[in-house]
Structure 1
């Protein structure tokens, strides 16, 4: 029963046994936040073919897994390269079709666009169509097909590359638009460095990172272009695509190309107004708002989004009681502290697993004190709910470890080097690559004192810390990432009863700016006598939207290596249980 056990573990579901038939267990989606945490609200059925289906009768979490062919191990992706056609037909009818769209025969020939026949799932038969070859580095990587009725398809399992990828040049400007015909239009108007994504703009909320995989393929060159001019369509979907492109490549390098009134995209502008007007649209590209002086109108869309509840929403760490004290918004800077060995890093590791499981959030972690292998082991424990090492509780199996790492592989990325102590600039540059390549939304630096801290003689440590925080906050806002900084407190004097005191945010090593400039400040404190851990929100900048300052009580359960919050334990600041 290894396959069905592995399949269920992938979704956080654990059973007493894995026999054919019906089973009841707790729900990995909602049980941890319910008052009746041990209520077996999840029904699981296993059939003779080792296929499992499940449904929670409390939160409706449901799914299926396992069965013939199930393999939890990570497999390297294999891309299929299409064969080059023996000849590329460019009949007069096709050239006339492009001519109506303002594109010359020379442009069509330069891109190798041709007529062919291909099977389309929309009609379940072969259709006459236009083929757009995706060339890169001397090889054909993909072909996208389009019928006269605007049906689209691509080659099966293609390598994720941009259309016209060879045009990306280090030190050159790069236009990113929304379709092959737009790429051809900008090129004909005199802009040689222009690309588009094969899958266009999203029609609704994204459910995967697949659309943006070409950024990972070409990330090295993209980071070297002088600036990025975003020329996606002037509609809601095109704006959503523009926002995501800017987040990934860095808003500080982005400019928005807006088409002449009445034209949605580059090709419509070319047809309606000609090449000269399209060039003027590019020349008038405006910098993405970063800093400086703005008019109210620059933020009108953002303000209306806030009014209608479409703006950035506070995110849960995965504990319902903790939500009362603390939630976070992408782009914020979070300071986290606690006495050594009180569990601050472990608590944050559980946040990582819970948010990745809850919203598929992706994290990049710098944790040299813990060590990369130990960090992964900690995350595996939390994911599986079993100890990594031998102890009084049953430890994880080797298959559990493999399944956990398979799950973490797509969601957690590690920063660091053994060759030198990295500076904050070095780390943020790697974090930027993680954003571009993998869509990371959270960056963890644990702890601050492992970041290289050489500073000019003219700077005090307080000034140095202030500049470091400013760099982190600027990075977070540019890339829409939450930055989590773990800081050790200074040496604190024990209380009269011998206990460690609860650190204050002004007690953090290096500077009072940790308290002054953070968007939120959290303290993790363990009371050994009470066998309880308190997470105290000492500062919340956006109250009550992101919570109210106060403490929440947790119990660390050694059997499953996780923190469990105590229901109704939230206390306002000044009444902490610690």
Structure 2
């Protein structure tokens, strides 16, 4: 019964008004070039009206973009008022429903002419990408033929995580990170049964609304890897709910260090890479390196002041620039790490905590300067 999506197929109960009225259909000028099928279905019966209009927009008086949105609705994509031609919109993905965190992870773009829409879900467990045309082509052509994989709910048991042992506790104690801070941030370790080498592996659990959505592993010898299927979000995202001011650091241990200094409103980038530096920023759907920012966009949009406390090296400075460009330099502030000796400065938050103490780290955050001012001073040197 269902025609292809190049026709307009609308399903509604008979008692509900159709997308356009029968009166408008019968009173509009109609040609006999092509056929239009409109279905109205109820649980007990169905009615088919077959008429032959020449052009959807001219014959029926329905804007092209509204017809396109009806096609999207058939695919489960529910458009809202933000879905206008020439702009990107964040919607709920009908394939994965935003996972357990209910993220609006589907990036939808309607071209300016209103005759094509394309989209991509940025959740790694979904990654649904496709497009739909108004007319003239198949209803939707797959952009990336990748079978949908259902969201896998991560648990401590499923990941084989156990409470940290004496060796890992001693490692953090040396870095001045307390057991209380480790517990509050649900830092665990990988069970030795999983590792052939029997080495101690720290597990930083990435949680959103209390649920584990990712996990990053680190050996004591600084070997890193990420659990397959982890969502790309900021580490500690639940700590900045409704925060007006936040701190962004470059590593999980630096986030824990900030907490030792009294700053819980801190998150960490999941990786230190800054991607390619280009004069113009890529579109949100192509900005894969910073997908973790777009996945947390709703929370970040509410923040009025962002302190960038990335590492004091070339990679960290590049990351700070990339973050500022995406978050807005007007609301970004930059730390200046104190001197370690006559020739160098401390590298990051944990180094300051370890060698100078929590009061010194607190003073670093309290002495930040506007990011634009820091950049202008660097350029004049």
Counterpart-to-counterpart distance in 2, 1:252 and 1:71:
37
Contact 2:213–2:230 under 8 Å retained in 1: yes
Contact 1:80–1:156 under 8 Å retained in 2: no
Contact 2:168–2:200 under 8 Å retained in 1: no
Residue 228 of structure 1 aligns with which residue?
A: 306
| Cα distance per residue 1:403-423 (max 9 Å; x no partner) | xxxxxxxxxxxxxxxxxxxxx
1:200 partnered with 2:272: yes
Aligned counterpart in structure 1 of residue 337 of structure 2, from 259, 272, 290: 259
Residue 8 of structure 1 aligns with which residue?
A: none
Tell me by how many angstroms 1:112 deviates.
1.3
The 1:138/1:236 distance shift into structure 2, 3 A limit, reads same
Could you say what secondary structure the match of 2:162 adopts? coil
Structure 1: segments with no counterpart, 5+ residues: 1-69, 302-578
Residue 460 of structure 1 aligns with which residue?
A: none
Counterpart-to-counterpart distance in 1, 2:316 and 2:193:
28
Superposition TM-score, scaled by structure 1 size: 0.36
Counterpart-to-counterpart distance in 1, 2:149 and 2:295:
13
Counterpart-to-counterpart distance in 1, 2:219 and 2:298:
34
Counterpart-to-counterpart distance in 1, 2:263 and 2:355:
19
Tell me by how many angstroms 1:115 deviates.
2.2
Contact 1:141–1:159 under 8 Å retained in 2: yes
1:131 partnered with 2:209: no
The 1:107/1:298 distance shift into structure 2, 3 A limit, reads same
Equivalent residue pairs, number = 227
1:166 partnered with 2:238: yes
Residue 287 of structure 1 aligns with which residue?
A: 370
Counterpart-to-counterpart distance in 1, 2:295 and 2:287:
13
Aligned 1:477-488 pairs, distance under 5 A = none
| Cα distance per residue 1:294-318 (max 9 Å; x no partner) | 99744236xxxxxxxxxxxxxxxxx
1:276 partnered with 2:359: yes
Residue 104 of structure 1 aligns with which residue?
A: 178
| Cα distance per residue 1:449-492 (max 9 Å; x no partner) | xxxxxxxxxxxxxxxxxxxxxxxxxxxxxxxxxxxxxxxxxxxx
Residue 249 of structure 1 aligns with which residue?
A: 327
| Cα distance per residue 1:99-140 (max 9 Å; x no partner) | 1001111111111112224899xx996743011110111210
Contact 1:119–1:127 under 8 Å retained in 2: no
Counterpart-to-counterpart distance in 2, 1:101 and 1:253:
31
1:115 partnered with 2:186: no
Tell me by how many angstroms 1:210 deviates.
2.9
Could you say what secondary structure the match of 1:134 adopts? strand
Tell me by how many angstroms 1:238 deviates.
0.1
1:152 partnered with 2:224: yes
Could you say what secondary structure the match of 2:315 adopts? helix
The 1:191/1:72 distance shift into structure 2, 3 A limit, reads closer
Residue 68 of structure 2 aligns with which residue?
A: none
Counterpart-to-counterpart distance in 2, 1:163 and 1:295:
27
The 1:94/1:296 distance shift into structure 2, 3 A limit, reads closer
Counterpart-to-counterpart distance in 1, 2:321 and 2:375:
20
The 1:119/1:172 distance shift into structure 2, 3 A limit, reads farther
Aligned counterpart in structure 1 of residue 163 of structure 2, from 89, 96, 99: 89
Residue 250 of structure 2 aligns with which residue?
A: 178
Structure 2: segments with no counterpart, 5+ residues: 1-141, 340-344
Tell me by how many angstroms 1:82 deviates.
2.3
Counterpart-to-counterpart distance in 1, 2:226 and 2:375:
44
Contact 1:79–1:158 under 8 Å retained in 2: no
Counterpart-to-counterpart distance in 1, 2:271 and 2:375:
35
| Cα distance per residue 1:23-70 (max 9 Å; x no partner) | xxxxxxxxxxxxxxxxxxxxxxxxxxxxxxxxxxxxxxxxxxxxxxx9
The 1:139/1:157 distance shift into structure 2, 3 A limit, reads same
The 1:158/1:126 distance shift into structure 2, 3 A limit, reads farther
Residue 300 of structure 1 aligns with which residue?
A: 380
The 1:135/1:203 distance shift into structure 2, 3 A limit, reads same
Counterpart-to-counterpart distance in 2, 1:265 and 1:188:
14
Tell me by how many angstroms 1:95 deviates.
1.1
Q: Which structure ranks higher in relative contact order (CA pairs < 8 Å, sequence separation ≥ 6)? A: 1
- Please provide the CA RMSD for this pair: 3.1
Contact 1:227–1:254 under 8 Å retained in 2: yes
Counterpart-to-counterpart distance in 2, 1:297 and 1:72:
46
1:212 partnered with 2:290: yes
The 1:235/1:87 distance shift into structure 2, 3 A limit, reads closer
Counterpart-to-counterpart distance in 2, 1:277 and 1:286:
16
Contact 1:170–1:226 under 8 Å retained in 2: no
Contact 1:81–1:142 under 8 Å retained in 2: no
Aligned 1:342-421 pairs, distance under 5 A = none
